[in-house]
Structure 1
Amino acid sequence: MREIWGLLLLPNHPSEPFMPQRFSNMHSALKTVFGHDAFRPGQEEVIDAIMAGRNVLAVMPTGAGKSLCYQVPSLMLDGVSIIISPLVALMDNQVAALRANGIAVSCLHSGQDRARNVEEWKRVARGEVSMLYMSPERLMTPRMLLAMEQINPPLFVVDEAHCVSKWGPAFRPEYGMLSGLKAKFPDARIAAFTATADAGTRTDIAAQLFGGKGDVIVQGFDRPNLSLTVKPKINRSSQLLDFMKDRQGESGIVYALSRKSTEEHTRTLVAAGYTALAYHAGMSAEQRFENQERFIAEDGIVMVATIAFGMGIDKPDIRFVFHVNLPSSPEAYYQEIGRAGRDGQPADTVLLYGLDDIRMRRQFITQEDSDADHQLREHKRLDALLGYCEASTCRRQVLMAYFGEDLPPCGQCDVCENPPERIDATDAAIAFMRAAQDTGERFGANHVIAVARGADTDKIRQFGHDQLPSHGTGQRWGDPFFKSLVRQAIATGYLSVDMERYGRIVVNAPGQALVAGQGAFLMTEPKAPQTSKTRKRKVAPELMGEADHDLLVTLKSLRRDMAREMGKPAYIIFSDATLIDMAQKRPKNRGQMLGVSGVGETKFERFGTVFLEAIN
């Protein structure tokens, strides 16, 4: 059975000559190949720029359909377009999806044996494909660049283009080599795509890839269907379980910082009755693939993962993303929460963080093999994320302002829904900062808090800190209050964490001025932990009648079985959005099935009859 479906999916296997179909009209390509009647907002502007022969950097939110922006032009341009992608799994999934739509496409990467790569390249050289997917390190070898000169590509596409810039948080040296591409192929267009790049990073990407001579198209960053919540860490497991109440049957991602933490939170969820799977680099490739495929194909699965998971995942109905640890930067955070709610329906995001997160993140930055300038930029990015976490105004405003976007208050983040009170905490702040200074700014936050509160510990007695004038000056404030104060003081620049000296607390100039009696320290009053509320959702299947919903379940089951037989991701057959439209329209024949969003002519030829039979 697997072989039968495999042939249906891959009629343009290397052993079978298959000349690419060319289109003169973008709307014709969109409907015939991809089965859509209209482009999403912003897509046509990018395609028009590429077709006009201009270089383009397009910054588009996750789920905005950036792939179509270069796939459609590749079907209209003469020659083979080169798609530069960072991950083998991402390449394989995109190639399989394109072939399922009847597009002649090839792929070169280390996951294929040499014979397969040679055969794929022969197809490229014969002009039998519209697109060739490959990694930057494979492309930028002298031998491959010489071969590229023979085929003269009309378009180079740089996916995940934020990896190009040294100003960005995800710079990859092999992506940096792409800066020589334009000089080598001056007549080719270069189109770069990313979902996360601030103004400085955008300018650097455009300068690196095409000398700044091209269009920078920013489609906006806001995802208004995502709710934003940040909570101080109290007990990560119990806070996660509290959030998961009433979310049984929903698909979501829980991001953890380490492999150990990933496994622990997976066990916690499973013990509580949820279907949870783990995903981290310590697992075998086969186990990771199996878990990923279950997550994509089945409903109600929670994936507990490190940041190794998520890129290229095409699952539109992810209803939540929960961070049990602080991400590395606003860019990383935005990219990770952007995997929720890609169907446009409401989705929740929650971030937990504590002083230990700040310490670990600072430590990661100082321990990485990078120059001082890069580390300084990473510290500033972390500072920006801490500012977001401690925001006393609309979180969406704070996050979007980081990316250069000005928005009114959203009304649906935790700050908008429950505005915090600001209190004068000058006396408490001075008590802590004097304790830090009296101890020589040589200790971490927990010890300094203990000194300020007048604790009697072995460590305090060992160093004689019980004899300091600041010992006990902050005894009227509790430990949770001080921890919140320290987080907010770090976020606002009064304090800093010196990881080169084992996470010691340093009193910065604003803090020194405060201790000297200049100014006041206002902070958000810490609140008692509240039970998480499940936001009201209007997810598409819930708007369907009972009969349509039953049909949708049947169609999903059929899709899952077919995908398993093929050994391919389920969405390659039809997306959830297509199945929902199919269940509601209930097509009875070929013409009606081609009217379903996402059903192109090739998809119908391969899968349409089977789904028509299920519907009828």
Structure 2
Amino acid sequence: MMLPLFLSRRVRRAARTQFGWRRLRPGQLGPMKAVLRRRDALVVLPTGGGKSAVYQVPATLLPGPTVVISPLLALQQDQIAALNNRPGMHAVRVSSAETPGQRAAALEALRRGEARFLFITPEQLAQPERLAEVRALKPSLVAVDEAHCISSWGYDFRPDYLALGHFIDGLGRPPVLALTATASPPVRDDITARLRLRDPLVVVSGLDRSNLFLEVAHCPDEDYRWRRLVALLRADTGPGIVYVPTRRAAEELGERLSAAGFGAQAYHGGMAAGMREKRHRDFLAGKVPVMVATSAFGMGIDKPDIRWVAHMALPDSPDSYQQEIGRAGRDGDPARALLLWRAEDVALQRFFTGGAPDEKELRDLAAVLRTGPLSRTALRDRTGLGTRRLGQLLGLLEEVGAAVPAGPHKLTAPPYAPIPAEAARAALAEVERQQALQRSRTDMMRAFAERRSCRGQALLAYFGEHLSKPCGHCDNCAAGRAHRSNGAGPFPLHSTVRHAEWGLGMVLAYEADRMTVLFDDVGYKTLSVPVVRAQGLLSTLSGVDR
């Protein structure tokens, strides 16, 4: 009975003596204790909410090194610099940015106990010799930063990220700590499945940012959208970010704002790496007051004084929106989030969501997998697929039971695998399911934009949280259009319901006579409560394990 109290004291003492933190923030202590008990944890804390501390403090109490898997070198560098400024907190990195000698020296420092943290990318762990070297270090903890990146919304993604669960198995399966600033219930489920988390402690805290004013404006034309943006920039002189949907839009708007005297620069994934890094550094240093960017700009921005974030089009989902607006006001001072949208934005997001893999490529790959365990190199040689394309198709075939790991770096078809033609059809059906879910998330983003009552309540409901009173920091609250919500309705919040056509779902929110349900197969749906009652559209399930 004394163990929980003793563990809490150890964690708090380590936070105080090693880092100088007199108290922990909400949502930090639970997952710290969980990983010390060798239990996995999934932590959702807002940007600036202290996610890094959740792995850093336990790392000082564990015998082996902590492996931090992170998607961006710039993000890693900032975290390494912060740790190396603290006595006894030496951190090293193994990445494509280091020379072979530097990588060897980093691993040697870990072997000798001179370094406590190893920062690494998924692409490094995909190399068999690198995975063996890291496993030999006997890591005590694996922290996956920006874990929402692993969510399989669509098959077109960095393949080595989707294989992280396999790589962690190859490290000997130490406790895993997944960290992100944004994760709705489906994304949390996806992270858990992809990383193969074992009965994880799930902590979601602090998603309501009271210092961040949420404002949405429907724009009848592009000229109106431009004028609203200019008005924001003239009213708020602090640094800010303008998010746009395409690379071309970033370049054009950046030039237009710069010509108008706002000192703007563009940033997108198609730029040379050196230019991206320079503009990233210039923005952090205050040399660029306005960054016009695609969603490629965001992770690793440790800048507390961003005063506003503007969206010049409807984001693809509330997940992206919450992630991006969370970069404003990290210092706790007032900040603004302005969304300028048009109905045409939805069609653009539909275009991005479209597309599917080639059925023949899926069928041929499934057939090759049935010939026996093969490495990815051998699979590329046998199929002619590129590295990225191969990773995407393998991820899909794994999801439908047509591919399984055969050791750390080989794959094969399991004995129960469907025949190649069936596997290809099942994989395409999975793509369609994922795309339906993504379309529903865009629908929820549009519903948020069109909402005439408290936006804070709607945003938290999407993430499975309940805000019983109006947020008080959105345009609708300021205009007196918000109302108190007690979550009352025909079914309890977060209960499991069944629809005859859409299957199982979870009740997320009620607003007036509407209810939002997240269905497993078709995504988010908004239903009329009177119609649900009158027609019996939903039924409860007893004993359903979600």
Counterparts in 2 of 1:563-602, with a 5 A limit? Answer: none
Mark the CA change 1:492 to 1:267 in structure 2 (over 3 Å): closer, same or farther: farther
Q: Which has the higher contact order (CA 8 A, sep 6+)?
A: 1
Matched, 1:137 2:123: yes
Matched, 1:105 2:165: no
Secondary structure of the structure 1 residue equivalent to 2:25: coil
Match of 1:382 in 2: 442
Secondary structure of the structure 2 residue equivalent to 1:111: coil
Alpha carbons 1:60, 1:220 under 8 Å: kept: yes
Match of 1:68 in 2: 53
- Alpha-carbon distance between aligned partners in 1 of 2:456 and 2:150, rounded to the nearest angstrom: 27
Match of 1:519 in 2: none
Name the one with the larger strand percent.
2
Counterparts in 2 of 1:463-474, with a 5 A limit? Answer: none
- Alpha-carbon distance between aligned partners in 2 of 1:251 and 1:150, rounded to the nearest angstrom: 45
Shift of 1:106: 1.1
Match of 1:312 in 2: 300
Mark the CA change 1:169 to 1:89 in structure 2 (over 3 Å): closer, same or farther: farther
- The root-mean-square deviation of aligned C-alpha atoms, in Å, is 2.7
Matched, 1:303 2:303: no
Matched, 1:395 2:455: yes
- Alpha-carbon distance between aligned partners in 2 of 1:273 and 1:165, rounded to the nearest angstrom: 40
- Alpha-carbon distance between aligned partners in 2 of 1:335 and 1:169, rounded to the nearest angstrom: 21
Name the one with the larger helix percent.
1
2:45 is matched by which residue type in structure 1?
A: M
Counterparts in 2 of 1:192-211, with a 5 A limit? Answer: 192-211=178-197
- Alpha-carbon distance between aligned partners in 2 of 1:420 and 1:30, rounded to the nearest angstrom: 43
- Residue in structure 2 matching 1:269, options 257, 280, 283: 257
Match of 1:237 in 2: 226
Shift of 1:182: 5.6
- Residue in structure 2 matching 1:51, options 33, 36, 40: 36
The two structures have a TM-score, normalised by structure 1, of: 0.61
Alpha carbons 1:328, 1:361 under 8 Å: kept: yes
- Alpha-carbon distance between aligned partners in 1 of 2:141 and 2:199, rounded to the nearest angstrom: 15
- Residue in structure 1 matching 2:74, options 86, 89, 92: 89
2:473 is matched by which residue type in structure 1?
A: Q
Larger Rg: 1
Mark the CA change 1:177 to 1:255 in structure 2 (over 3 Å): closer, same or farther: same
More displaced, 221-230 or 160-169? 160-169
Match of 2:475 in 1: 414
Gap runs ≥5 in structure 2: 1-8, 358-391, 393-430, 483-513, 517-526, 528-546
Alpha carbons 2:454, 2:481 under 8 Å: kept: no
Between the two proteins, the alignment pairs up a number of residues equal to 401
Shift of 1:396: 1.1
Mark the CA change 1:202 to 1:185 in structure 2 (over 3 Å): closer, same or farther: same
Matched, 1:78 2:63: yes
Counterparts in 2 of 1:556-567, with a 5 A limit? Answer: none
Matched, 1:127 2:119: no
Q: Moved runs in structure 1, 4+ residues, more than 6 A?
A: none
- State the identity as a percent: 41
Alpha carbons 2:47, 2:326 under 8 Å: kept: yes
Shift of 1:119: 2.1
String of CA shifts for 1:465-515, please: whole Å, max 9, x gaps: xxxxxxxxxxxxxxxxxxxxxxxxxx999xxxxxxxxxxxxxxxx9xxxxx
- Alpha-carbon distance between aligned partners in 2 of 1:170 and 1:396, rounded to the nearest angstrom: 31
- Alpha-carbon distance between aligned partners in 2 of 1:210 and 1:342, rounded to the nearest angstrom: 32
Shift of 1:224: 1.7
Counterparts in 2 of 1:509-528, with a 5 A limit? Answer: none
Match of 2:319 in 1: 331
2:263 is matched by which residue type in structure 1?
A: T
String of CA shifts for 1:169-226, please: whole Å, max 9, x gaps: 9964322212235644556211111121122322332244345423112224211211
Mark the CA change 1:342 to 1:420 in structure 2 (over 3 Å): closer, same or farther: same
Secondary structure of the structure 2 residue equivalent to 1:341: coil
Shift of 1:28: 4.5
Alpha carbons 1:251, 1:320 under 8 Å: kept: yes
Mark the CA change 1:166 to 1:298 in structure 2 (over 3 Å): closer, same or farther: closer
The two structures have a TM-score, normalised by structure 2, of: 0.68
More displaced, 53-62 or 332-341? 53-62
String of CA shifts for 1:72-125, please: whole Å, max 9, x gaps: 111221111111111122112211221122421111111222222222222223
Mark the CA change 1:364 to 1:207 in structure 2 (over 3 Å): closer, same or farther: closer
